[in-house]
Amino acid sequence: MKPQEIQELIDFISKSGLDEVNIETSDFKIAVKKHSAAPAAPEAPRAAAPQALPHAPAPQAPAPLPAEQAAPAAPKASDESKRYKEVKSPMIGTFYRSANPDSPSFVNVGDTIKAGQTVCIIEAMKLFNEIEADFGGTIVKVLVDNASPVEYDQPLFLVDPA
């Protein structure tokens, strides 16, 4: 596998919501884990890493943000999680915002929803399940991209119940 193919695989896995993937062929074996203490490394034979030229400048790391800029982000996230309620996925499947590609989305940011209103569809094993809101409020954010895989209990929408 080429490094670009490995990166594309990692990007796909991170978007899919899977926690672990193992791939093994006659040429190589690779294990990718999300949220692991130690990074997974491919067990395939590797080519030598390119050497830096003696006259090339060393790459510089980006400067860290001052503590004043980084600190306000934490309280905002905790305030947001307390103020908003989440509509969560009741199953594993594929998330769709509309009934079909030609139809408008069930809900959009800024829409007011009522308890029992259909907010999306989740396809599981070729069955299309309408997902209804358990409470009313205003859609603040759509947390999942259309046609993306979702896990059980994964937040799909943030709703302001006020």
Q: Tell me the fold of 80-160.
A: OB fold (Dihydrolipoamide Acetyltransferase, E2P) (2.40.50)
The predicted-structure confidence for 46-75, as pLDDT tens digits, reads as follows: 555 455 555 555 555 555 555 544 445 444
Domain boundaries, the chain: 1-45, 80-160
Return the minimum-mean-pLDDT range out of 22-26, 59-63, 78-82, 146-150: 59-63
Q: What's this model's pTM, rounded to 2 decimal places?
A: 0.51
Q: What is the pLDDT of residues 91-106, one digit of tens each?
A: 999 999 999 989 999 9
Q: What is the pLDDT of residue 36?
A: 47
Distant-in-sequence, close-in-space partners of 95: CB < 8 Å, separation ≥ 6 = 89, 120, 121, 122, 144, 145, 146, 147, 148, 149, 150, 156
